[in-house]
Structure 1
C-alpha cells in the first residue's frame, strides 16, 4: 500500500510539471582543455545597456580560453552582420583566425549570415546545449566581471559605459589570472603591460634585458614556449581539481534510448504568468545518447526536428 501511494505521488503529472522530479542526476564535469593561443574563443553578447551618444547599446565579449585574453566591443545592435563585422575588425584582423569559435544558440550566432562568415574564414563554429550557459563559462564570467566594473566607473546616467570599456579591459589584461598564474598580456605577448604608477618609463622589474632586434624573435619564441608549457601544466592541474570538487556531488544518469523523460525548461511563455508557470515539460522520448552528458530527444506534441540537451536538464518520467 505504501509503495502504491508513493508511486502515485511520483507519477502525478501535474505535480511533477511544477515541482519537478523527486531526484535529479548530475553528470560529471567534462573539462575542455586547450593548448595554444586562439585555439578556442568563447563569444557572447551582453545587454541591452543604456543607449550611448555614440549609438551603442550592446557589448560583444570574447575570451581566448588559453591565454584568457579578454575583448569587449560596444555595438549598436545584435544583427548578425554587425556582430560578424565587429569580430573581424577588432579580433580577427589583429590576432588572426581562431581555430574554434564557441557561442550559445542565440539567433545572431545561428543565422546563416554569421555561420557563412565563419565558414568563409575557416573558423569552426561550435555551440552550447540549449539553455545551459555553463557550457560557455569563460564568456559568461567575463560578462559578469566587465559589467560589474562598468557599473562602478560609468557616469550617473550610465551613458558612457562604451568609453570606459577599454580601460576596464586594460586592467583585466594586466592582472594575473587565477588559472594561468600570469596576466593575459604576458601569455600573449611575452611581456607585462607597463602601467602607471611606478612604471611610466623603463623596463618592468620582472623583464630581463631586451636582446638585439636580430635576436628578439628567437628570444620571444623561447620565452613564450617556456611560459605556455608551464601554463598548460598549471591549467591541467586546476581543471583536475575543479573536476574532483564538482564530481563529489555527481550522480550519473542511466538514460537509455526510448526512455521517457521530463525536460527542465525555464523559457517564459507569452501570455502566461511566470509565477504560475510549470517549468518541467514532457514526457519526451530519448532518441539517441550522444555521450555521457548530452542526449537527443523528440519533444512531445512537436513536429520540430529532435533537439540536443544536456542530461542535467532531463529527469526520468515515472508512469503509473
Structure 2
C-alpha cells in the first residue's frame, strides 16, 4: 500500500534502504501527519485530507460519481469534489478521469463529436445524368390532396433537380419516380446514391436497379453528407418554399414548380452555369425578359435562330467541360479548408464501439445519445466501417467514423499507479477546483 513507507517513518522513524526513496520520504514528511494511527495529508481545499488505499478510493469514486447524490459529473470536477470532501491519494485526478472515461452511462450520454473524423472526398460525375442522388423531404403540412412528403432527385453533373410530392413513401413509389422523372426524361443512369431508408433498401428497388444495370450506392448510417448533392438541393427547396409561402404552409405543393424553376434558371455556385443551360444547351427565357424585353427577346430573328442553336450545340461540350473544371476547383478549395479542422478517428477490426442513436430511435430529450456496444467487423475505407453484434451477427449498412465512439471498459482502481508521486505533481493535484 502506498501509505506504508510514510506511516512507518512518521511512527517509528524507519526509512527504506534505497537512498532515493528515503530522501523523497523525508521531503514529503512535512505534508503528512498521523492522527490515531491514521495517515492524513495537509491540504489547501481543507485543513486535512484523509489518505485512503485503493479499495477505499474505488468506493469513494463510485459513490460520489454515481451514488445517491451522484450525477455522473466529469473527471476533473469529480476529483475536485472528492478533495473538498476530505480524501486524498496520489493518483486522485488520474483515477477520476479514467473512471469517468470508462463509465458506461457517461459514454452513452456523452456529447456528439463536433469535429469531423475523416477528410472530405470530392465526388463528381463524368457526364450529364450519369449519377443521381435521391432523398426524401418531409413531413410537410398536409395539402388538400393529403400530400406531406417530397421525393427529390438531383443530377451530380448539371445539378438538375426533379421533385414530386407524395402522400406516402413506398418502394413501389420510388421505382415509379425513378422511371417517370429520371429515366423517361433523361435516359438510363449508371449510379444512384440513396440513404438507408427501407423504401430505398427494399428488394423491389434492388431488383429494379439490377434489371437496368443501375448501381446502388448507400450512404453510411446517420451520415447524410455522403449524399451531399441531394442535401444541398433539399436546402434550396426548403428555403424557397419557406420564403414564398410565409403563413400559407398548406400550399407548398402548388408553389414547388416555381421554386424549381427559379433554381433551374439560376447559375450554380460551383459550375457557374444554370442547370437549365447544362441540360438543354441554352438559357431559358424567364418572365422578366417579357415584362422588360432583354436583348435576345427584343432582337430575336426567327431566320437566324436555327444557326444560333447549331452554334450552341457546337459549343456545348466546351461549356460543360469548363463547368466541370470550375466545379472541381471549387470543391477542392472547400475540401482543403474542411480538412484543416478534421480530427481523425481510426478504428481497427475487433474494436468495441458505440453508435450514435438514430433519429428514428430517439424518443425524447432524455434518451441516450449512444447505443451498443458493437464490434468493428471490417474497415471499408473513407471513414466507413461495417459493424457486427457481439455474438457475430452483421449489421446491414456501413457506419461512418463520425457516428462512432470507442467504448472504454471499466477497470478496478488497484493498479500499480497508486504510489507516492513526484512532489510537484502531487502538490498540483491536491487542491482541485470544480468545473461546470
Describe the SS at the equivalent of 1:74.
Answer: strand
Are residues 1:280 and 2:380 paired?
no
Give the equivalent residue in structure 1 for 2:322: 230
- 1:1-320 to structure 2, matched below 5 A, reads 1=91, 2-20=93-111, 26-154=117-245, 156-199=247-290, 203=296, 213=306, 219-269=311-361, 274-300=364-390, 303=393, 305=395, 307-319=397-409, 320=411
Tell me if the contact between 1:25 and 1:315 (Cα under 8 Å) persists in the aligned partners: no
Q: Label 1:285 to 1:143 Cα distance change in 2 as closer, same or farther (>3 A).
A: same
Query: Larger Rg: 1 or 2?
Result: 2
What CA distance in whole angstroms lies between the structure 1 residues aligned with 2:151 and 2:113? 39
How far 1:86 moved relative to its partner?
2.4
Describe the SS at the equivalent of 1:19.
Answer: coil
Tell me if the contact between 2:113 and 2:402 (Cα under 8 Å) persists in the aligned partners: no
Q: Label 1:198 to 1:211 Cα distance change in 2 as closer, same or farther (>3 A).
A: closer
- Structure with the bigger percentage of helix: 2
Describe the SS at the equivalent of 1:290.
Answer: strand
TM-score by length of 2: 0.66
Q: Label 1:30 to 1:144 Cα distance change in 2 as closer, same or farther (>3 A).
A: same
> Root-mean-square deviation (CA), in Å?
2.9
**Matched residues, number:** 317
How far 1:29 moved relative to its partner?
1.0
Write out per-residue CA displacement over residues 96-118 of structure 1, whole angstroms, 9 at most, x where no aligned residue: 12211111111111111122222
How far 1:10 moved relative to its partner?
0.9
How far 1:88 moved relative to its partner?
1.5
How far 1:222 moved relative to its partner?
2.7
Q: Label 1:6 to 1:154 Cα distance change in 2 as closer, same or farther (>3 A).
A: closer
Describe the SS at the equivalent of 2:123.
Answer: coil
Q: Label 1:153 to 1:244 Cα distance change in 2 as closer, same or farther (>3 A).
A: same
What CA distance in whole angstroms lies between the structure 2 residues aligned with 1:210 and 1:123? 43
